[in-house]
Each structure stands twice: as structure tokens, then as C-alpha cells.
Amino acid sequence: MINYGRFRSILAERHDQVLVLTLNRPDRLNAVGDDMHEGLEAILADLHNDSDIRAVVLQGAGRAFCVGGDVKGFAEAPVVEKTPYQTMEMVTRSAANLIDRFLDVPQPIISAVHGYAMGLGATLALLCDVVLVAEDAQIADTHVPVGLVAGDGGALAWPLAMPLGAAKYYLMTGERISGTEAVRLGLALKTLPLTELQEQALSMAQRMAALPPLALQGTKKTLNRILRHRSQLVTEIGLQLEAATFLSADHKEAAGSFVEKRQPVFHGR
């Protein structure tokens, strides 16, 4: 049996044929750091070869689903000299791998979103097959405000869920969307009271797990061809541009001002 609980920052709990994955860095509002990125990649790859699991729930511990990349961690991390090529290769490879893993998983994945789902956190939620949100949910792609191109999945997921004009606005500004508004725009299936969110997500996963798996998984695979086609169109260029902005002075200013709790000043460099 696969040990899904081998990562520090992801809790794994089995309910018969349903696997519940909980992002578990509540002190950082489940920011993607420590071994979370690596763990998600590995677990999603494992699921591809595990016929005993027929549905998955992805949720967050504590007060948030996931606030995205660990901006504070970026600023606190020791300086490691990398060439521009090494930086771009690292960013594009890891993000592309994670997107591919989501698209490869045969089982349906339900995200149960409460509190903040920001940046990469929003992408993790929206790459799931069904998105349920609590009434307190706040969803945003916050790449641009921290000086980065929204390239790690936002340009893939958001325009498929809402009109292109609306997706452009929210991706370019990083403005937050409430749980109710997320349902109205098509980002989420339904809004639930926070106290019912995880129970309802598990119940939905159990209902899906009871369906004929070949039919269910074949339907998902067919529909994911749409995502794959769109991914071929936008993901490579988006990740390359995001990687380039990791090297920008504006991104360094955004990370520094976040830690120092001051207003950033950007110069387009």
C-alpha cells in the first residue's frame, strides 16, 4: 500500500476508497514551502497507479486553504547564486510538472476551499475537477502584485471558468473574489457554510467513488483533453515569463516590502 502520509506538510487520510489530502502548514496559512510542492507532485503521481483510490479531496488546515508561494520564505531564504538559465529552468520545470500531475490523475479531485486561496493556492484549487467553497473563501491570483507573471496555471484555469475579459481583469490586478462571487463567475460549483464544507466535500467524493470507475475516469480523461490543449497554448510562455520576473528588481522589492511591512515602489525593472 502506498504511504501517502510521508510528507511533513501534507496530511493524508483514507476513507475507504477516498483519499483526503490536507495541506498542513497552518502557521504559514499553508503557503507552498517545505516539502509541499515535492509532496503534491509525488502523491499525484502515485495516484495514477493506485486503483484502490477512486476519489480525492484536497483541503487546507487551519484558517486558509493555501496562500500560494511562500513570499516570506523567498525573502528569508539564504542567497544561492544561480545563473538566469538555472533560475528559469528551475521555475518552469517544477511548475510544469505539477500542472501535468494534476492533468494526469485519473481519479476525480474535489477541492474544499475556505479562507484564502491565493496565487498558486488558487491554481491548486482550480485545477481540481470540482471546486467547493466556504462562505468565507477569498480567491485571488496574486502573482502580479508580487511582481510575477501569472504563469503557473492561472492563465490556464481562470479563462476556462469565466469570460476572458473577467479572467484578464482578475489575473492582471490580483483582486480578491468571495466564495459567492466565485460561484457566480464559474470558478466554483457551490458555496457552503464553513462548518459543512469538509463533510460535504467528503460526501461528494464518496458518491463519485461509488460510480463505475472506468466510465468516470474515462469521462475525466476526455474532458481533460480541453485542458491539455489549452495548456499547450499558454503554459510554456506563461512559465517562461514568470521565471523571467523572478529575476526582476520589482519582484525583490515586492518580497522585501512584504517582510518589512511597507508600501512597495516598483520601477519596471
Q: Quick one: pLDDT at residue 82?
A: 67
The verdict on residue 3 lying in a domain is no
CATH number of the domain that residue 199 is part of: 3.90.226.10
| Full domain range(s) for residue 141 | 10-260
Q: Determine whether 201 is exposed, middle or buried from the number of CB atoms within 10 Å of its CB (0-12, 13-18, 19+).
A: buried
Which of the 8 DSSP states describes residue 66? B
The verdict on residue 265 lying in a domain is no
Q: Quick one: pLDDT at residue 63?
A: 96
The verdict on residue 267 lying in a domain is no
The verdict on residue 5 lying in a domain is no
In this structure, what C-alpha cell is assigned to residue 247?
A: 529575476
The verdict on residue 54 lying in a domain is yes
Q: Quick one: pLDDT at residue 67?
A: 95
Name the nearest CA neighbour of 54 among 102, 117, 105, 111.
105
Query: Measured at the alpha carbon of residue 150, what is the angle toward residues 146 and 153, in degrees to the nearest 5?
Result: 135
Tens of pLDDT, residue by residue, the chain (269 residues): 899 999 999 999 999 999 999 999 999 999 999 999 999 999 999 999 999 999 999 999 999 999 987 656 554 555 556 676 666 676 677 788 999 999 999 999 999 999 999 999 999 999 999 999 999 999 999 999 989 999 888 999 999 999 999 999 999 999 999 999 999 999 999 999 999 999 999 999 999 999 999 999 999 999 999 999 999 999 999 998 998 898 899 998 988 898 888 999 999 99
In this structure, what C-alpha cell is assigned to residue 98?
A: 505539477
Structurally, the chain folds into a number of domains equal to: 1
238 within 8 A of 155, measured Cβ to Cβ = yes
What is the spatial order of strands in the sheet that 130-134 belongs to? 10-15, 18-23, 55-60, 109-113, 130-134, 190-192
The verdict on residue 1 lying in a domain is no
The verdict on residue 84 lying in a domain is yes
The verdict on residue 124 lying in a domain is yes
Name the nearest CA neighbour of 69 among 221, 222, 235, 254.
254
Cβ neighbours for 124, distance < 8 A, ≥ 6 positions apart: 40, 58, 65, 66, 111, 117
Give strand pairing partners of 11: 22
19 within 8 A of 4, measured Cβ to Cβ = yes
Which amino acid is present at 149? V
Query: How many helices and strands, by DSSP H and E, does the chain display?
Result: 10, 9
58 within 8 A of 31, measured Cβ to Cβ = no
Which of the 8 DSSP states describes residue 184? H
Q: Quick one: pLDDT at residue 151?
A: 84
Q: Quick one: pLDDT at residue 88?
A: 66
Helix, coil or strand: residue 111: strand
